[in-house]
Structure 1
Amino acid sequence: MAEIAVSHLLANFAPFLQEEVNLLTGVRDEIEYIRDEFERMTAFLRVADAMEERDPELKVWVKQVRESAYDIADALDLYMLRLGHHHGNGVCGFLRKVSCYIKTIKARHQIAFEVKRIKSRLINISNGHQRYADIHRRQEQASRPTVAWYDSRGDALLLEEAELVGIEKPKRELTQFLLEEDPRLKVVSIAGMGGLGKTTLTKKVYDDTIVKKHFQNHAWITVSESFKIEKLLQSVILQLFEEVKQPIPQGVENMDTNSLKGIIKTFLQQKKYVLVLDDVWDIHAWQSVRYAFPNGNCGSRVILTTRNIDLASFSSREYHGKVYNLTPLAPEDSWTLFCRKTFQGNSSPPYLEGLSRDILRRCEGLPLAIVAISGLLSTKEKNVEEWERISRSLGAELEENEKLTSMSKILSLSFFDLPWNLKLCFLYLSIFPEDYSIDHWRLIRLWVAERFVEAKDGMTIEEVAQSYLNGLISRSLIQVAERRNDRRIKTYRIHDLWREIIVSMSREQNIVTLSSECGTVWIKKVRRLSVHQNLEGEQESSCFTHLRSLIVFSSIDSFSILSKVALLGDDLRLLTLLDLEGTQLETFPNEVVKLCHLRHLSLRRTNLKTIPKSIGNLRNLETLDLKHTHVIEFPDEILKLQRLRHLLSYRYHMLDWPFFQDQTGFKAPMGIGSLSSLQKLCSIEANHDNNNGIVLKEVGKLTQLRRVQILKLRREDGKVLCSSLEKLKNLRSLLVRAIQVDEIINLDSLSSPPQCLRTLYLVGHLQRLPRWIPSAFNLVRVCLVYSKLRDAEPLRSLHDLPNLTHLEIFTAYDGEELCFKAGAFQNLETLWLCLLQELIWVRVEVGSMPHLKKLSLEKCKLMADLPSGIEHLTNLEMLHLADMPYSLISRLNRGLPGGDYWKVSHIPHVEIGVWKDGNWEGSFLS
């Protein structure tokens, strides 16, 4: 992880060495030496990253390197702040340069002293580690464990089934799959985070008497993260031959991998076998053994357990199998297991039940954690004070209590297996409070602002960050909490115990400092500060001079936090990231415009109303997030922010249907097209100050746009907008909202849609859908609002789109009949029909919408019956009925003769209710 700090530093040396104002004598040489030394270190840092947890001395060295890189970056940035001014040309420019030199001579000496100090420190670090020559020797030594710890994963193979909880259903389902009468070789992958009990479950299935009798040959191989292919294959051969009491082939111990695979393949040919590959970490491990297992069309099976979801999907899809995603224990099973281990099978004493359930909640159904923590509690006095202390300091217990060490180590294996560039990204998640829903785009923008993400050819930096997220998801380190209607991920979360672990790691390595209600132990140099409750203590000002990031999650203490930010303004000049989302801010802090290095500024969900002209000082700003504020206009000085990639400012008005003006954007400066780096622009008003479409023409210059929202569009502006849209080849998301509810949106001038377009929102009167809709093959989501279409045109234009999964029709269709034809909408998963005031009936033909999962009908007051043919939607999981006529709802009564209950009996969830004062009141049909 130190490599990230060093790489950023190396990228920033050139401007300093090329600075037009001369450095003091010798300082340039000092800086060049430091640069060269860091370049030499870089070659060893990736090796060291993989070894440091096993080598305490190396861990200290890596930390020293990282802190030195941060320190020199601070010194160089301070130099730019104090001396890096443009003085102009000619005599006046020369005089200003001389004057500036004289005025800053003291600062120059201070910087020179700091550079020399860092150089001396760097030399000591280098010499202390013997110039890194022993790194490779350490790598070899580190491959052998240097710190003994008990790996309890093997215990899973010895557990009696009577000791287990919640295993019956998954065992039954997996056994049924193994016994299926299908002659093809199949791979079933059991996937999930460490500690869920994948090995335990697999062992019980593998040892089942019926399974044993069903297969001729059996073998169990534990792969692990550091397997040796020859040893693994030799183990398979040994088990197979011993099972049938045949002699082991001679010379096996000296054979190469191809010879070993040949023996296995020959032995298993035309046999019905079951093999378990337990604890497989990556695709390489699977690929190194898979061709040893023949497909003899005998009904053989391979069971693979893994923490890597991508690997599970890859292996099972390749061999006609399935992925079984193991889930945490249900609350009742968790409580049973907890009481069994903590109270020796007895119930919890009433006075401890509240604390017990609080501790158990943080285990989140993870069997490994429940067993480990209940084992610790079983040895403690059964008193409230002791249990309250453990609940309060669970993170410290994970670090220090030997009864929990093994569990922490098992969970941490997934972290240590991460590539170096993902480790820092994962530790950074410690900035978020417990149980916090982490917004997808917020996290990506934070990572980018922190410079955690490497640039790659052909990809935006945000796309690279997305690949990092996918890597953490596939390794079961973060969980998808919520998806958007077009299947994109909206929020993430991390397991509470994982959070405890990474908070500890992050604090140890000075990645993030947390200020919380439990108090904060302030370190000497705080680099990143996350405020969860209060900014307390007396030494903040002395440790904030190196602060790079400040994120505030507390609105309760927002005034005191912001006042301290103001008081520390001069000491926060190195700040690159400021996130005050949700605080009680009403005016733009003057101190912020002094932060010349600021790359990310979020004032989302504050009461801010105006932006000062001095915003133009923030020349390095890349993200300006003002969503859900009251800002409706930007000064022209914002056009100075040439690095801006995300400009977000809009607000929704929480009004009841069928109001139209429910979104406010901002008045864009006339020259907004000069912000050529913009990727997201939300939301600009097309018409203000009689600009005659100039703003819409400017949009066409923003060729990097991925997402844009256009508000207050007039009919006559359609051609100008279409002309601009044709230039936006990278556009993924488009929202167009008319200036009035009756204003026509005319987008027919667009010859062809942006080929990357995934989501389309059209809010306003449409005489017809744009002619290019059928050729927008990548559309995933379409939302039509107030369209006033009078025939079935929307369906005919949309029904063949191959990727369309989500369709919303809100007050958009004035016809009486709606028919979904056979073969239409082959991939649609969600259909929402709302406020269709004239709609009387809906028909679904056989073969239409075969993959529909959710159907929502709201406020269609003339519909007296369910959609005809709804019984054909066999994959429907949710039917949502809101404010629908009583005549329709009453016919769903299970006991009503001749009613419609039979039409929905196959749907797992049928929800019926009404909206009252903006709140949903409903229940599920039983």
Structure 2
Amino acid sequence: MEAAVVSALMTNIVARLFAVLEKRYDQLSALHDDIDSMKAELHLIAGAMEDQLSQKGHTRAVERISMTVMRELAFDIEDCLDRFLPCAACGEEAGSIGDPVYFVDEIQKLKKRLEGAHQQKTNYGVKGGQQQDSQDRQGHPIASHDADTFEEHHHHHVGIEKPKQEVVDLLEVEGEKLMVISIVGFGGSGKTALTKAVYHCPQVRRKFLRRAWVVASKHKDDAKGLLTAILQQLLPSEAPAVLPTQQVPQLQQHIIHHLQARSTRCLIVIDDMEHQHWKAIEPIIYVETLSRILVTTTIHSVANKCSSVGGYIYNMRTLSKEDSKVLLKKKVSLLGGSSPDLEDGSAAIVDKCDGHPLALVSVANHLLGESELTGKFCKDTSSCLGSHMDKNTHGDFTKLRQVLVNNYSSLSGGLKTCLLYTSLFPNDRPVSRKTLTRRWLAEGYIDGDLEAADKNFKELIDRNIIQSIDESNDGKAKTCKPHGIMNQFMLHKSMSCNFITSFGDKNRRRFRHLVIENHTNDTTSGMDHVAVPTSRSHNRLHNLVDSLKGKFANINTFTNTGLVSKQLRPRSLTVFGGAGEAVSDLTSCELLRVLDLKECVGLNEEHLRYIYKLLHLKYLTLGSSVSNLSVELERLHCLETLDVGKTQIVTLPVEVINLPHLAHLFGKIKLNKISTKNCKKFMQGKSNLQTLAGVVVDNNSRFPELMVHMKKLTKIKLWCEITSTDTNYTILSEAIHRFVQAGMGNPVGYRSLSLHMNDCSKDLLHRHQVDNTTATSKKPVCVSSLKLQGSLSQFPQFVMSLRGLKELCLTSTNLTRDDLSTLYTLKRLVYLKLVEVHLAGDLHINLGNFRSLQRLRLAVQESRLPTIKQGALLSHLVSLQLLCKDLLGPSDHLQMKSFGRLQEISLDSMVSKETIELWENEARMHPKRPRILLLKRVGPAGKYVANDQGSLELPMPCGCSDRCCKADQGSPEA
């Protein structure tokens, strides 16, 4: 695994290095041969490290030292690049690279170090290495079902009865077509244990007289073997005679023919299924039969495919704290209630294991080896859990380690680094998807744009390695976090590989990413969610590395050149809570690309006085204690993302939004007076802003003039505090019109407009006349999202020209039923949100209305529901949110059976228990058994956020992901 970490980091650094140097070839032509040589060598070494992942066994000490040396070399190469080329994207705009001769000399030294490291690997016999224990002899990852089987025999079925009954109930749902129930969850969460409990349940055995259980991971790329294994159990007497000569299509038809025979109902279990198995079973799922298939998988997209035809997806839930305690007590009898000391210790273990059954079993087995168990020992075990999982490869944590390493090793190099990066965030602090993806880009861990970063994020969600917490209007994850036990393991690996550490670590200069948590003068504080690896063996390894480095011919570390003295080498600094004096001199981290102070308290302008010296900074976010930013900020040439949404900043220097690379600006700010010089820059259309969320426009604002010239703008949020008599009222109206029209030539792209209007600006949108070209064109205007908040005198007719509109949010607009009836012409509308609008009982949805609608959110004061007439089939609706504390049960106004694909129903958490029961019963009678979610109102604005009670945990319908209650928190990124 160490090889994978180093390889992932080096591959990224190498690619970036040579892409930049090749651009500078004319200026650095003397380096041409050296560049080619280094490029080949580094790619070979990175490849050799990756090869170590395909083998089994444990790395030798010399191999670990070699990997550490290579990591340090990769870091030094990156340091060299950043110091001499402050802004690679700008070329000459960023200034000279310094002394080219000195730069050539440094590159040559690095080249010699690389050659020496390669030679030392040969001298010490560092080759492909021993095989990693995460792989089998054929190089395939060990399947997670092994861990689930281990868990089944050891966790005494704690918390399994309710899930078992839910799955059994799904098996008994009547239907003439084959139903596939997919059980999906993170490795070690108990999928196989649950499935076996269902499989051996007497109720199921009586209903399904023929049954088959196959482990798909034992048939890698072997469709014939998988199908044969199924038939051998369904038809044990016929199998030996007919199967050996049949090919895949014949085996598929044989299974189909048998399932269609109504004399006997069959139950087929396919355990640990992956993408490569899909084609083998695809023809089977369309069969008309009373038989059933149970599938377990760690991959959501696999579950979606399998259950796409009238099936269900059942998402594994982690154990509650109470069930976790019960499991520990059953495994370790000494953890009874008689000792408060042991209760405290067990509570620490429960928190760290985060409801993961296999983790709890592993820790329990470890505790059994202690003759005199104490609360302190339990707490020590908890704080060092990452180390136990990493080092205890043949003991109590073996199976757990296999699951975690398998999840990590199955990822590509870039995704591995992205996953490691998530361990920067404590597990009790879910992180925004947009924060994470933008930070990946700023760090250079993603080769591409936000779309590419979102693709990587989606893959981690799909593989169940990180879990969605809240969702945006479009159904994408809004916030997320890794599974608790995965977070612990990744954090330990990150710290062991000099990737992440606490600011209090004495060796912090060696690390790439620093985290401060409630820092004090005590150097051991900070990052308290994991133990800092300062063991004797850890220090011994560093001493060995330093000794080995000294033996390399012509290998002087970059530090020895004099370019780095006491300055730190991190690329990111993230602060949670108080930072103390740790941020008193941010310039000591001169190579920072990411500075995240959003959750930092006690920060002031003095701390930020010299922030403009961080010339490499690409991502900057500030917290609530900041009230002012200096105009010097315009010197942050490389800045790409600036988030001041949590600050007290009212006015922002206009020079900031003219930064050449600034693409995303979040907050609620006014722009100060604009000089003629700056105005001319904007008139030339040089602004690079893509997201501006947002700007306050009053009667003194000149922003409307600038907005017209922001050619790259795709998302804008405006607070309109102007009247129709203001001079810039017409200009703003025209700027909005141009923003909307700018998408005409590109109907595929995404554009978002959000307007908060006061009583004096409620007619702002009525100044637009509907453009006949816009209204009749076959190509829709490219505005995908429109959000309007504030009273409107009438519904803006220009909205009807937005034929490509997919998301519409109306908040406190006070529109009438007749106004809203015009929405039905928006045929592509996917999400509709109506908040605090008096429409309950007056909104009639008829046949043919909202043919594309997938998500409907109604937050109203009345308890009556809108009328959805019989036959008005909202066939694509998956999410229905009815947020009213006085809501009663479903009535004749709303026919839930009209929503054929409904997956979830959200209610106000203040509704009565009787109301919850009514909706729960209605959901149970629905063909898809949608999940009931509870949301609560918080804050003066009455925003709805996730309730602690969460879901009522009904069985999941097809296609849903493992998500908690929605939250509409009104963040700058929302």
TM-score range for the pair, normalised by the shorter chain length = 0.7 to 0.9
Distance 1:229 1:70, change over 3 A: same
AA aligned opposite 1:38: L
1:501-558 Cα distance to aligned partner (Å, 9 max, x none): 001111222222233xxx5252562222122232768899989746242323233224
Distance 1:43 1:85, change over 3 A: closer
AA aligned opposite 2:83: L
Normalising by structure 1, we get a TM-score of 0.79
Q: How does 1:715-726 map to 2 (within 5 A)?
A: 715=724, 716=730, 717-726=732-741
AA aligned opposite 1:680: T
1:29-72 Cα distance to aligned partner (Å, 9 max, x none): 54453245335556666655655986667776665544433322
Secondary structure of 2:514's match?
strand
Distance 1:790 1:171, change over 3 A: closer
Greater relative CO (CA pairs within 8 A, separation 6+):
2
Distance 1:735 1:351, change over 3 A: same
More moved, 527-536 vs 495-504: 527-536
AA aligned opposite 1:406: K
AA aligned opposite 2:831: T
Partner Cα separation in structure 1 for residue 378 and residue 354 of structure 2: 18
Alignment match of 1:481 (pick from 466, 469, 474): 469
Distance 1:822 1:51, change over 3 A: same
Contact 1:191–1:198, Cα closer than 8 Å, also in 2 = yes
Per the alignment, residue 578 of structure 1 pairs with: 595
Distance 1:543 1:388, change over 3 A: farther
Secondary structure of 1:726's match?
helix
Distance 1:547 1:667, change over 3 A: farther
Per the alignment, residue 656 of structure 1 pairs with: none
Residue 650 of structure 1: how far off its partner (Å):
1.4
Structure 1: gaps (5+ residues): 89-96, 456-460, 652-663, 883-888
Per the alignment, residue 867 of structure 2 pairs with: 844
Contact 1:4–1:421, Cα closer than 8 Å, also in 2 = yes
Residue 85 of structure 1: how far off its partner (Å):
12
Residue 18 of structure 1: how far off its partner (Å):
2.8
Q: How does 1:216-615 map to 2 (within 5 A)?
A: 217-224=210-217, 227=220, 229=222, 232-233=225-226, 236=229, 239-240=232-233, 244-246=236-238, 248-249=240-241, 252=244, 270=261, 272-280=265-273, 282-288=274-280, 290-291=282-283, 293=284, 297-317=288-308, 319-343=309-333, 347=337, 349-380=339-370, 381-401=372-392, 402-455=395-448, 461-485=449-473, 487-515=475-503, 520=505, 522=507, 525-534=510-519, 545=567, 547-558=569-580, 560-566=581-587, 568=588, 572-583=589-600, 584-587=602-605, 589-612=608-631, 614-615=632-633
Contact 1:633–1:667, Cα closer than 8 Å, also in 2 = no
Contact 2:722–2:761, Cα closer than 8 Å, also in 1 = no
Alignment match of 1:761 (pick from 754, 769, 787): 787
Secondary structure of 1:433's match?
coil
Per the alignment, residue 709 of structure 1 pairs with: 718
Contact 1:48–1:62, Cα closer than 8 Å, also in 2 = no
Secondary structure of 1:69's match?
helix
Q: How does 1:902-917 map to 2 (within 5 A)?
A: none
Alignment match of 2:189 (pick from 196, 199, 220): 196
Partner Cα separation in structure 1 for residue 153 and residue 201 of structure 2: 12
Partner Cα separation in structure 2 for residue 201 and residue 903 of structure 1: 27
Per the alignment, residue 20 of structure 2 pairs with: 12
Partner Cα separation in structure 2 for residue 200 and residue 134 of structure 1: 41
AA aligned opposite 2:301: D
Q: How does 1:609-688 map to 2 (within 5 A)?
A: 609-612=628-631, 614-638=632-656, 641-650=659-668, 670=679, 671-672=681-682, 674-687=685-698
Distance 1:153 1:113, change over 3 A: same
Secondary structure of 1:553's match?
strand
Q: How does 1:857-896 map to 2 (within 5 A)?
A: 857=884, 872=895, 877-880=905-908
Partner Cα separation in structure 2 for residue 919 and residue 240 of structure 1: 55
Partner Cα separation in structure 2 for residue 913 and residue 421 of structure 1: 39
Distance 1:524 1:543, change over 3 A: farther
Contact 1:218–1:275, Cα closer than 8 Å, also in 2 = yes
Q: How does 1:25-40 map to 2 (within 5 A)?
A: 29-38=33-42
Contact 2:148–2:190, Cα closer than 8 Å, also in 1 = no
Partner Cα separation in structure 2 for residue 224 and residue 500 of structure 1: 27
Q: How does 1:21-100 map to 2 (within 5 A)?
A: 29-38=33-42, 47=51, 64-80=69-85
Distance 1:332 1:548, change over 3 A: closer
AA aligned opposite 2:41: E
Partner Cα separation in structure 1 for residue 325 and residue 132 of structure 2: 45
Residues 1:187 and 2:180 are matched in the alignment: yes
Number of residue pairs the alignment of both structures matches? 853
Residue 114 of structure 1: how far off its partner (Å):
3.5
Partner Cα separation in structure 2 for residue 512 and residue 601 of structure 1: 19
Contact 2:183–2:313, Cα closer than 8 Å, also in 1 = yes
Contact 1:623–1:646, Cα closer than 8 Å, also in 2 = yes
Per the alignment, residue 176 of structure 1 pairs with: 169
Secondary structure of 1:224's match?
helix
Partner Cα separation in structure 2 for residue 538 and residue 108 of structure 1: 41
Give the share of equivalent positions with the same residue, in percent.
Answer: 22
Partner Cα separation in structure 1 for residue 209 and residue 478 of structure 2: 47
Partner Cα separation in structure 2 for residue 914 and residue 857 of structure 1: 14
Distance 1:269 1:819, change over 3 A: closer
Partner Cα separation in structure 2 for residue 262 and residue 421 of structure 1: 41
Contact 2:183–2:315, Cα closer than 8 Å, also in 1 = yes
Secondary structure of 2:718's match?
strand
Partner Cα separation in structure 1 for residue 129 and residue 367 of structure 2: 43
Contact 1:190–1:324, Cα closer than 8 Å, also in 2 = yes
More moved, 903-912 vs 29-38: 903-912
Partner Cα separation in structure 2 for residue 211 and residue 864 of structure 1: 38
Distance 1:725 1:829, change over 3 A: closer
Residues 1:126 and 2:118 are matched in the alignment: yes
Partner Cα separation in structure 1 for residue 306 and residue 175 of structure 2: 18
Contact 2:152–2:192, Cα closer than 8 Å, also in 1 = no
Distance 1:284 1:690, change over 3 A: closer
Residue 463 of structure 1: how far off its partner (Å):
1.2
Secondary structure of 2:162's match?
helix
Alignment match of 1:749 (pick from 762, 769, 783): 769
Distance 1:300 1:832, change over 3 A: closer
Distance 1:334 1:198, change over 3 A: same
Residues 1:211 and 2:232 are matched in the alignment: no
Partner Cα separation in structure 2 for residue 269 and residue 734 of structure 1: 54
Contact 1:225–1:417, Cα closer than 8 Å, also in 2 = no
RMSD, aligned α-carbons: 4.9
Per the alignment, residue 733 of structure 1 pairs with: 752
Partner Cα separation in structure 2 for residue 303 and residue 45 of structure 1: 39
Partner Cα separation in structure 2 for residue 693 and residue 199 of structure 1: 60
Partner Cα separation in structure 2 for residue 633 and residue 157 of structure 1: 60
Normalising by structure 2, we get a TM-score of 0.75
1:310-339 Cα distance to aligned partner (Å, 9 max, x none): 11111111x432211121223333332221
Secondary structure of 2:85's match?
helix
AA aligned opposite 2:799: I
Secondary structure of 2:755's match?
strand
Partner Cα separation in structure 1 for residue 265 and residue 840 of structure 2: 60
AA aligned opposite 1:416: S
Per the alignment, residue 657 of structure 1 pairs with: none
Secondary structure of 1:497's match?
helix
AA aligned opposite 1:749: Q
Secondary structure of 2:294's match?
strand
